[in-house]
Chain A
Amino acid sequence: MLDLSALLRPTSPEEAVRLFAETRGNGLYVSGGTVIVPSGSSRLDFLVDLSAAGLDYVRPAAGGSGEEGSGAGPGLALGAGTCICDLARSQQVADVAGGVLHEAAAAVATHTVRNRASLGGNVIASHYPTDLPPALLVLDAELIAMNLEGTHEISLEEFYANRRALHRKGDLVVEVRVPPVSRGLTAAFEKLGRIKLDIAIVNAAAALRVEEGGIADARVAVNGTGRPPSRLREVEAFLSGKPTVRETFEEAGRVASASVDPRSNHRASGAYRKKMIGVLVRRALARAAEK
């Protein structure tokens, strides 16, 4: 059980950042609480609760292009405190790139947990392979983070690659921004667990945009390697210009498998994960192409 000296309840993200900086001891931001509360960590002295900080929203990104003729749909601004259930229910989310984020959101835990677990928590949690990151990575999502100096943007891919440098103690992820998606980009999410309702052994997302002559834009991301979630650039490079046929996806799966070196843990061996990443990438690509 947690043993806290303070639970702070700011009413804005700015206040949250300020309270975090002003409070002594070891603290964390909390939103749904589905990870932090059960952790029972005795190292925590305080929590800054975001549930009243106005971070619960799904809306078209302000200033997103979405103009006529650009070929792009509107971008999305997703408040970090939005519960995953609202992502899974949102038509705006379902409309993006064939609903990849919707698929990933629906794959997270149970619906009661999704009613509490937040987007921000799922994105930054690192102790097990969460489901939203691959979907957000193939959408080229960005994080909007805030600290005492103000707000700044970080690409999600960079965030995972270089988290320590880019995200310091007290920095608060306030929003996940999904940039406007080019017309024709479709994406799909795949997950593998022991049984249906399980933490992922591995998961994967793939996005494709096809022009005449072949694949114009390919994005592939995985989670569950024992390292932070990541894009598979080798696979993406391989796919560029290829036709959307079964052989392409099979080979892409082999490239994906060859490009990762997953760790073993109690859920599966690294060797099995390596193989499964190939299978899931292939399936995600094939489903994305069908959309």
Chain B
Amino acid sequence: MELRFVVNGRDVAVEVEPAEVLLDTLRRLGSRGVKSGCRTGSCGTCTVLLDGRPVPSCTVLAAQVEGREVTTIEGIGDPDSPHPLQSAFLGHGAAQCAFCMQGMIVSAKALLDANPCPSDDEIREGISGNLCRCTGYVKAIEAIKDVAGADRTPDLDHVVPMRRLAEDDRYATVGWSVEKTEGIGLVSGRAKYTDDFAFEGLLHARIKRSPHAHARIVSIDASKARALEGVHAVLTHEDVPRVPHSTAGQNCPEPSPYDSVMLDRKVRFVGDRVAAVAAETPVLAKRACDLIEVEYEVLEPVLDFERAMDDGAPTIHDEDDATGILDASRNLVAHVDAEVGDVEAGFAAADRVFEHTYRVQYVQANPSEPHIAVTSLDEKGRLVIVTSTQVPFHVRRIVSRVNEVPLHDVRVVKPRIGGGFGVKQEVVVEDVCAALTLATRRPVKLSLDRSEELVASRTRHPQILRLKTGVAADGTILARELTVLTNTGAYGSHGLTVPSNTGSKSLPLYRSPAIAFSNDTVYTNLPVGGACRGYGAPQGYFALDSHTDEIAHALGMDPAEFRLMNAIREGDEDPIAPKLGEGKEGFRRVIRTNGLAECWSRVSEDADWDAWRAELKPGEFGASGNAPQSRVGKGMSFAMHGSGIPGDDMGAASIKANEDGSFNLLVGATDLGTGSDTILAQMAAEVLGVTPEKIVVYSSDTDRTPFDVGAYASSTTYVSGGAVVKAAEMVRDRLLVHAATILGEGPEGLTCADGKVTAPSGRSVPLPEVANAAMYGEEKEQVSFTASNVTLDCPPPFAAACCTVEVDVETGRVDVTDFVCAIDLGHAINPALAEGQIEGAVLMGLGYALSEEMLFDGNGRMVNDNLRDYRVFSSVDAPPIRSILVETDEPTGPFGAKSVSEVPVNVVAPAVANAIYAATGARLRDLPFTPEKVLAGIAALAAADGTGERDETGVRDGGRT
């Protein structure tokens, strides 16, 4: 059909297919800022203005816009003349991965056009169709408010640059909220994500997926699919190498079992791979998948992970070539245990022993951009993989092995990516996409749709956690035991290390002379567990800090005082770290900096905690809310985390000096949108005495940058940052030698700052002159150094939070009305980006606590595999979130930095649980807290009241003395 319409003021005539959606037409016409995120109108990444109104272009049929006017992000402002909203979004640090930001700015533009002075609520409503997973909405709302009400450039004076350590003059660049290195293009639709690269002759891949949770493939007939015109390859298990491997992007040898092959004779969950197709168009690829005829021998599935190890339970991994599974016949992937001190003696000596069981559900991180890769062969026939990954170097190694291609013939490039949160620490698209390119010799794109992202990428491991704690009458913890059962789904990726971290990240927080941890990880015929922001710790902390709260209330102690009294202190040794490493023994860990007490002091002040506590009468729950049926409560929680994997994580950086005094910084570190390119540039700039603009960052290209394990384990600032500092110091020292020659003085005592080298005598030479002399002077050389960094330390960031909820006691609906979170992150390299990490993590945690849940029918099929029915927090659901940076000076970190990205997610679910308890007296131990569960909890209280079972402390079914 011919379509004539207006795009960004330009008349366009284009041929479209009847089923083509506007999103695809606009991208085809070059509007690459229109992003594909969910294709159900739920996420808003494809928002455009249709005759001035914001609409999700993925649900508009292209032919429907005949004669109408469409405005995309590109029509709102371009890098040469950005719209004030674009400048404000960038300036406020609202843009992390920015995949969702293009659409959000379009919505904000429409909002301000219709209502130049919107209220906060109107702003929230105005961007409610745009889901952000990285930063949340705090900074976006600030940015919109900055532009609202005036036709002027935003007032960013108070934002950029912004200094946090007011009295700290040590640093010129570090500690300032500089704008992201990507610049204004990041919010103008110009940043290039995987789908934005043009490839001649590109084929579209699609995976045929299993309709059964557990089945053997008896036969596959792909002849009809192969015969379809436009289909270039159909691969089944008969066509590809069978190489058992782990899809987990971890150091080699991976601590995860080798239980996956590219395409197998057996399927182990609904959505497992059956076959792969490459065709001229996505529609043809889909038709081809439908034409593949598969005969299955359907097997009994394991859907209840508590039954996975039962006698007679079906064996999920009965193949004979898998390795690294502890006991495949019992579906037991891994077992971990660790003990410090004598736990039984501790329980025996305790005045009271508490034991509670907690359950956590399946969730998926839902990055705005689902997994996507494009594979192609370069002019030399080498395999080039452009992919949205957190782990380019692990991808190279795994794809090389699985496809039996030499590693030197594989190049992996990570462009801008639309969020990762751990799910992209995994090879779930690149291997089979590469196989299709090898089969067709053509570029092939494989992108997961939102349903596949939910079902067939990776999830947060569900667990059942049993905590037992013995305390003395004065509240001193004497012994603690955590016993975990972990469901890794159909494959064991991260199945050992995630639950290890459930213990190792949570158990050290409160001192105890005796600690025992054990975990069994089992297979089920359900989606696969993996890395997910927090990596086991959010599960552990939900249990630990709910349990801690229960104990404090049972003892009649203030929950904050009880926690502070038992919390780990500066100078303490983490007792569990040496016993629980990354699937092996760990390393000694001394706490050198601990800002937890200050975190709590700031949070409690901000959240009016003391006033709230003072008003509570003993044995009474909740305060009155806005409506007669609502009860208000405040809950608190603490957490800690790590900074990288000690002894394992290695990051490297290369810096080369250019003759104008600029530098190329090449890092393997992987910016998922977090801003690591920016903060690494700040660190290099600090050492080299230049402004960050003088640092040209290039990251994550296996041909061109040095190695880095990738972006996971909260490691980039700490580990990769350390490498940048080392490389920058080497470059600086070498330049000082050249400067010394120019100045005629010895290199001793020369300093590099403010773009020049200064001698103790006061004489100085501009850095460009030094750099030019190095390149063109008498002693010519390319000043360039590479450094790598490994650390045996793993300093923990600390977190404290207070959550305020309003519970509708008639429906059980919980509204979070306020959330305050303080993080001791060491020294904040870029405060605005650090705050964005906290605000985004809190939002993700709130979804974990209240709304997000993958639900399955009796056959193991996910029933809410879309973003309409799987609810993540939108701008109207999000409470005001206030992030507080508490700075300590970590001696082992670059410029005193520790990590920030994961620790905030740990505090959220327990804070919500504790707030619901404070509001209602109902103690919920089963995530998420749906209205139905909350109401049941409240109803159980009333029932207990009626039978006189309620004890004086308000703790039910847990306390045992």
Provide a sorted-by-A list of 28 A–B residue pairs whose CB atoms are within 8 angstroms. A1-B39, A1-B286, A3-B19, A3-B286, A4-B17, A4-B18, A6-B18, A7-B18, A7-B61, A9-B66, A38-B58, A38-B59, A49-B61, A49-B63, A109-B41, A110-B874, A111-B126, A111-B128, A111-B129, A113-B129, A116-B60, A128-B869, A192-B813, A194-B851, A194-B930, A197-B128, A197-B871, A267-B869
The 5 closest A-B pairs by CB, nearest first: A112-B129, A110-B129, A7-B18, A38-B40, A2-B19
Asked whether B868 lies within 8 Å of A32 as measured between CB atoms, the reply is no
Write the B254-295 contact mask toward A (1 if CB under 8 angstroms, else 0).
000000000000000000000000000011001100100000
Judge whether A148 is part of the interface by a CB distance below 8 angstroms: no
Q: How far is the CA of A217 from the CA of B751 in the complex (A)?
A: 87
Q: Closest chain A residue to B284 by CB distance?
A: A3
Asked whether A197 lies within 8 Å of B876 as measured between CB atoms, the reply is yes
Q: How far is the CA of A265 from the CA of B171 in the complex (A)?
A: 58
Which of B54, B64, B287, B857 meets A111, CB within 8 Å?
B54
Which of A1, A47, A85, A197 meets B874, CB within 8 Å?
A197
Prevailing SS type, chain B contact patch: loop
Q: Closest chain A residue to B928 by CB distance?
A: A194
Interface size class of A (residues with CB under 8 A): 35 or more
Judge whether A181 is part of the interface by a CB distance below 8 angstroms: no
Judge whether A42 is part of the interface by a CB distance below 8 angstroms: yes
Interface residues of B in 45-75 (CB under 8 A from A): 47, 50, 53-56, 58-61, 63-64, 66
Judge whether B21 is part of the interface by a CB distance below 8 angstroms: yes
Residues of chain B within 8 A of A111, CB atoms compared: 54, 125-126, 128-129
Interface residues of B in 95-129 (CB under 8 A from A): 107, 125-126, 128-129
Q: How far is the CA of A42 from the CA of B290 in the complex (A)?
A: 10
11 more contacts with CB within 8 A, not counting A112-B54, A113-B56, A201-B931, are: A3-B19, A30-B61, A42-B286, A109-B41, A111-B125, A112-B55, A112-B130, A196-B815, A197-B128, A266-B857, A272-B932
Min CB distance B928 to A, Å, is 8
Asked whether B55 lies within 8 Å of A272 as measured between CB atoms, the reply is no
Q: Closest chain A residue to B49 by CB distance?
A: A115
Q: How far is the CA of A51 from the CA of B62 in the complex (A)?
A: 12
Asked whether B63 lies within 8 Å of A7 as measured between CB atoms, the reply is yes
Judge whether A276 is part of the interface by a CB distance below 8 angstroms: yes
Judge whether A198 is part of the interface by a CB distance below 8 angstroms: yes
Min CB distance B102 to A, Å, is 14
Min CB distance B165 to A, Å, is 38
Residues of chain B within 8 A of A128, CB atoms compared: 869
Q: Closest chain A residue to B877 by CB distance?
A: A195
**Of B17, B64, B290, which is in contact with the most chain A CB atoms at under 10 Å from its CB?**
B64
Residues of chain A within 8 A of B868, CB atoms compared: 109, 199
Residues of chain A within 8 A of B935, CB atoms compared: 272, 275
Asked whether A116 lies within 8 Å of B56 as measured between CB atoms, the reply is yes
The verdict on A7 contacting B1 (CB below 8 Å), with A194-B871, A195-B850, A198-B871 known, is yes
Residues of chain A within 8 A of B290, CB atoms compared: 42
Judge whether B810 is part of the interface by a CB distance below 8 angstroms: yes
Residues of chain A within 8 A of B60, CB atoms compared: 33, 37, 116
Min CB distance B137 to A, Å, is 12
The verdict on A116 contacting B18 (CB below 8 Å), with A192-B811, A195-B851 known, is no
Q: How far is the CA of A85 from the CA of B55 in the complex (A)?
A: 11
Judge whether A166 is part of the interface by a CB distance below 8 angstroms: no
Judge whether B240 is part of the interface by a CB distance below 8 angstroms: no
Q: How far is the CA of A195 from the CA of B848 in the complex (A)?
A: 12
Judge whether A268 is part of the interface by a CB distance below 8 angstroms: yes
Judge whether A34 is part of the interface by a CB distance below 8 angstroms: yes
Q: How far is the CA of A37 from the CA of B41 in the complex (A)?
A: 9
Write the A265-291 contact mask toward B (1 if CB under 8 angstroms, else 0).
111110010011001000000000000
Min CB distance A126 to B, Å, is 15
Asked whether B871 lies within 8 Å of A112 as measured between CB atoms, the reply is no
Q: Closest chain A residue to B939 by CB distance?
A: A275
Write the A95-131 contact mask toward B (1 if CB under 8 angstroms, else 0).
0000000000000011111011000000000001000
Q: How far is the CA of A47 from the CA of B61 in the complex (A)?
A: 10
Min CB distance A250 to B, Å, is 11
Judge whether A237 is part of the interface by a CB distance below 8 angstroms: no
Judge whether B855 is part of the interface by a CB distance below 8 angstroms: yes
Q: How far is the CA of A196 from the CA of B851 in the complex (A)?
A: 10
Asked whether A194 lies within 8 Å of B59 as measured between CB atoms, the reply is no
Residues of chain B within 8 A of A266, CB atoms compared: 855, 857, 863-864, 869
**Of A30, A51, A110, A275, which is in contact with the most chain B CB atoms at under 10 Å from its CB?**
A110
Asked whether B19 lies within 8 Å of A116 as measured between CB atoms, the reply is no
Q: Closest chain A residue to B62 by CB distance?
A: A7
Asked whether B283 lies within 8 Å of A3 as measured between CB atoms, the reply is yes
Asked whether B877 lies within 8 Å of A197 as measured between CB atoms, the reply is yes
Q: How far is the CA of A193 from the CA of B868 in the complex (A)?
A: 12
Prevailing SS type, chain A contact patch: loop
The verdict on A112 contacting B876 (CB below 8 Å), with A1-B283, A38-B59 known, is no
Q: How far is the CA of A198 from the CA of B815 in the complex (A)?
A: 13
Residues of chain A within 8 A of B249, CB atoms compared: none
Residues of chain A within 8 A of B1, CB atoms compared: 7
Min CB distance A15 to B, Å, is 15
Judge whether A151 is part of the interface by a CB distance below 8 angstroms: no
Min CB distance A83 to B, Å, is 9
Residues of chain A within 8 A of B721, CB atoms compared: none
Min CB distance B850 to A, Å, is 6
Judge whether A5 is part of the interface by a CB distance below 8 angstroms: yes
Min CB distance B267 to A, Å, is 21
The verdict on A85 contacting B53 (CB below 8 Å), with A194-B850, A198-B851 known, is yes
Judge whether B866 is part of the interface by a CB distance below 8 angstroms: yes
Q: How far is the CA of A34 from the CA of B61 in the complex (A)?
A: 10
Which of B42, B61, B287 meets A3, CB within 8 Å?
B287
Which of B857, B866, B871 meets A195, CB within 8 Å?
B871
Interface residues of B in 840-856 (CB under 8 A from A): 850-851, 855
Q: Closest chain B residue to A269 by CB distance?
A: B932
Which of A38, A42, A110, A279 meets B811, CB within 8 Å?
A279
Judge whether B421 is part of the interface by a CB distance below 8 angstroms: no
Q: How far is the CA of A166 from the CA of B869 in the complex (A)?
A: 30
Q: How far is the CA of A38 from the CA of B931 in the complex (A)?
A: 28
Judge whether A258 is part of the interface by a CB distance below 8 angstroms: no
Write the B153-183 contact mask toward A (1 if CB under 8 angstroms, else 0).
0000000000000000000000000000000
The verdict on A9 contacting B63 (CB below 8 Å), with A42-B290, A198-B851 known, is yes
Q: Closest chain B residue to A271 by CB distance?
A: B932
Q: How far is the CA of A6 from the CA of B42 in the complex (A)?
A: 26
Q: How far is the CA of A49 from the CA of B282 in the complex (A)?
A: 23
Judge whether B517 is part of the interface by a CB distance below 8 angstroms: no
Residues of chain A within 8 A of B128, CB atoms compared: 110-112, 197
Interface residues of B in 738-779 (CB under 8 A from A): none
Residues of chain A within 8 A of B53, CB atoms compared: 85, 115
Interface residues of A in 82-98 (CB under 8 A from B): 85
Judge whether B33 is part of the interface by a CB distance below 8 angstroms: no
Q: How far is the CA of A192 from the CA of B934 in the complex (A)?
A: 14
Residues of chain B within 8 A of A195, CB atoms compared: 850-851, 871, 873, 877
The verdict on A33 contacting B877 (CB below 8 Å), with A112-B41, A199-B868, A272-B935 known, is no
Residues of chain A within 8 A of B851, CB atoms compared: 194-195, 198
Residues of chain A within 8 A of B813, CB atoms compared: 192, 194
Q: Closest chain A residue to B38 by CB distance?
A: A38
Judge whether B44 is part of the interface by a CB distance below 8 angstroms: yes
Q: How far is the CA of A201 from the CA of B476 in the complex (A)?
A: 45
Q: How far is the CA of A47 from the CA of B287 in the complex (A)?
A: 19
**Of B39, B810, B866, which is in contact with the most chain A CB atoms at under 10 Å from its CB?**
B810
Which of A4, A38, A47, A194 meets B41, CB within 8 Å?
A38
Q: How far is the CA of A5 from the CA of B242 in the complex (A)?
A: 40
Min CB distance A203 to B, Å, is 12
Q: How far is the CA of A269 from the CA of B17 in the complex (A)?
A: 42
Residues of chain A within 8 A of B928, CB atoms compared: 194
Min CB distance A168 to B, Å, is 24
Interface residues of A in 190-230 (CB under 8 A from B): 192-199, 201
Q: How far is the CA of A28 from the CA of B576 in the complex (A)?
A: 62
